[in-house]
Structure 1
């Protein structure tokens, strides 16, 4: 189990809706310090929040952040980008690769850089932000989330040796800037983050933070037509 009390938390993508919720909720749970990282960090009114420049796609920036935040005990891999809902068949491969670079390989790069930091601080924990779309394919974005989920399953076992706990978090549509153009029901980011941090403090390896993620994962054990009913008439 990982307590947030007196923890030192680093949140990537801290300027976004979920990122801001992670910063606020970590402080509510007693974190001693929160590194709020982004390519262009914003100012925060709470002295416990430390703005930190971090471009997860830039290895030099990642290395500098790991050095600057060498007291980190909890890493939240929250930064990511959308594919804009473009059809996979007609999206240029370079654009597909760019989404994978950010949502998969950059996440792994941050994890590799901070794993020794966490080990040196007693093990700590990592939260990897996945999605219900890890299990329901809707283009490049969901493919990157599926790949990141698979990486997390492998990393979780590898990190056991250094005493680092890895939690994978899945969620459906949440009310953040990334989804602001979607006319669909959305979860409150505060509720999603609270559920994730409840799971972290309970020692869970995975959190299904809403009904959408629970429903989609449950459907994985059934036929593909449960997830893709259009196949019934194909």
Structure 2
């Protein structure tokens, strides 16, 4: 895919990785809609601010009417409540699923026909190493939602291939963003991950592994529970 010829929509583009992805796309010549619940918070020159709340289907439909020339969709909007599946507040658990699973599902359903009409293109879902492995440190609701989003990504790969739409997933560990400000583990720079993500799109990759942590976990998946959760044995 030639990035300079694309019209992109990045959700959650007002800060963190989403902002860096929008900036990287701009630097490579793409037209960029920067989506956010509060578009007035978008301060990146050159983008087109777009109001979109991925948990609100009416908001998604309105955004699709405006950004009807999109060929590249990047589902980056996220939430992280830190809730536990066992005893966390159900509203927080639902928010994780509404954002990462149902939100991504709704945005893809709204824009797939647009991308097909425009000649095809790519959808990138920003996943996580936590779509492959759970961690008590970050709450268990978030990994469960990201795992569901990974499965959704695989399903859409199959459903949209015949429509000339490639569906990719980015797996990444901790990044230096507000979402994990309290984490003391090593973190990647969002600007570096944005470059890796766009390079992967440009190379027509289905799966983009952004760091050593994600690469290591991926390699251990074939070993089953014992390889992933050694603390249980």
TM over 0.5: yes
Deviation (angstroms), 1:43: 4.2
In structure 2, the partner of 1:120 is 117
- Judged with a 3 Å threshold, the aligned counterparts in structure 2 of structure 1 residues 223 and 164 are, in CA distance, closer, same or farther, namely closer
How far off its partner does 1:14 sit?
0.3
Q: Kindly provide the CA deviation profile for residues 106-157 of structure 1, in whole angstroms up to 9, marking residues without a partner as x.
A: 1100000000110111111100010000110120100111100001001011
Give structure 1 stretches of 5+ with no counterpart.
none
Following TM superposition, by how much is the alpha carbon of 1:207 offset from its aligned partner in structure 2, in angstroms?
0.5
Match of 2:81 among 80, 83, 93: 83
Determine the C-alpha separation between the residues in 2 that align with 1:20 and 1:108: 21
Please show how residues 1-234 of structure 1 align to structure 2 within 5 Å. Answer: 2-31=1-30, 33-41=31-39, 42-44=41-43, 46=45, 48-84=46-82, 86-138=83-135, 139-232=140-233
| Residues in 2 aligned to 1:10 and 1:124: alpha-carbon distance in whole angstroms | 12
Following superposition, the deviation at residue 99 of structure 1 comes to 1.3
Q: Helix, strand or coil: the match of 2:222?
A: coil
For the residue of structure 2 that corresponds to 1:222, the secondary structure is helix
Alpha-carbon spacing, 1:38–1:45, altered in 2? closer, same or farther (3 Å): closer
**TM-score between the two structures when normalised by the length of structure 2:** 0.94
Q: Does the Cα contact within 8 Å between 2:14 and 2:36 map onto a contact in 1?
A: yes
TM-score normalised to structure 1 length: 0.94
1:83 is displaced (CA, Å) by 2.4
Structure 1 residue 45: Cα displacement: 5.2
The runs of at least 4 consecutive aligned structure 1 residues that moved more than 6 Å come to: none
Q: Which runs of 5+ in 2 are unaligned?
A: none
Deviation at 1:196, TM superposition (A): 1.3
Q: What secondary structure, in the 3-state scheme, does the structure 2 residue paired with 1:13 have?
A: coil
> In 2 relative to 1, CA 229–190 (structure 1 residues): closer, same or farther, beyond 3 Å?
same
